[in-house]
Amino acid sequence: MTTSDPTGDVAVAIADGIATVRFHHPKGNSLPGSLLRRLADAVTGLGHDDAARVVVLRSEGSGPFCAGASFAELQAVRDADGGTSFFMGFARLILAMRDCPKFVLARVHGRAVGGGVGVVAASDYAFAMRGAAVRLSELAIGIGPFVIGPVVERRIGPGPFAALSIDAAGWRDAEWAERHGLYARLYDVEAEMDAGLDTLARTLARSNPEAMAQLKRVFWQGTDHWPTLLPERAAMSGRLVLSDFSRKAIAAFGSR
């Protein structure tokens, strides 16, 4: 199944129990609202599809894995409700990945920024290339990593999360990300990464679905309040994005 429009593409395919969700956006695999919605719907649908035993999430191209939020849509926000609605797209995708009873494996071929880091953190296991540096740039545009904060902090811990959030202009290399648990395995050669991912995905596709679903619930214990917390965080970002500081910073970033 493939959907396509100017805001990006999402494709879903299932073979031998392995569901692959691919997304692409011409601007660095950034995530406008419609693309976030289609990704969340795809993950939710696969959670109910018995043909899928494990989910692989990947993006396309040779550039970034995900450049985060769409600057064009951030610039288009005109009121707090519109801002909240945009950031809720990330909240819904994170919750869809959490609630999916199948393990979600992320394939990270390039850099991840902002919301892209949140997507990786919401996966259950991430394969990455050594060039897949990470950055939380939200503070640099006058907001903060509020919506993705809970899932990133859960994955890497409060200290590394604070450091990544405060140093909004700095990149952390893939070795740092692996050391702090964001990435499970690193590779020098993309073909080797794909082989490793395929081996694990095939193993999981042959594993007991009930055992995997119960193990995933164990992994995500302590997040029952997120359906309330993440909308509150989306509202925080939705208000901040309207500030003069954010308007100017987003315009500057978008013009680069």
Residue 255: predicted pLDDT: 57
Give the predicted TM-score (pTM) of the model. 0.95
Task: Give the separation between CA 70 and CA 98, rounded to whole angstroms.
Answer: 23
CA 30, 33, 38 angle in degrees (round to 5)?
90
- Residues 29, 59: contact at Cβ < 8 Å? yes
Report the run of H or E that residue 9 belongs to, with start and end.
Answer: strand 8-15
Q: CATH classification of 2-189 is 3.40.50.2000, yes or no?
A: no
Task: Give the separation between CA 235 and CA 224, rounded to whole angstroms.
Answer: 19
Task: Give the separation between CA 119 and CA 112, rounded to whole angstroms.
Answer: 9
Task: Give the separation between CA 33 and CA 21, rounded to whole angstroms.
Answer: 17
Buried b (16+ CB within 10 A) or exposed e, 214-224: eebeeebeebe
Domain spans in the chain, listed from the N-terminal domain onward? 2-189
Residue 126: predicted pLDDT: 98
Residue 72: predicted pLDDT: 87
- Residues 21, 66: contact at Cβ < 8 Å? no
The sign of the torsion formed by the CA atoms of 85, 89, 31, 233 equals positive
Residue 6: predicted pLDDT: 64
pLDDT tens-place string over residues 18-71: 999 999 999 999 999 999 999 999 999 999 999 999 999 999 999 999 999 988
Averages of pLDDT over runs of 10 residues in the chain (256 residues) are 62 98 96 96 98 98 94 90 96 98 98 98 98 96 96 98 97 98 98 98 98 98 98 96 90 67
Residue 2: predicted pLDDT: 37
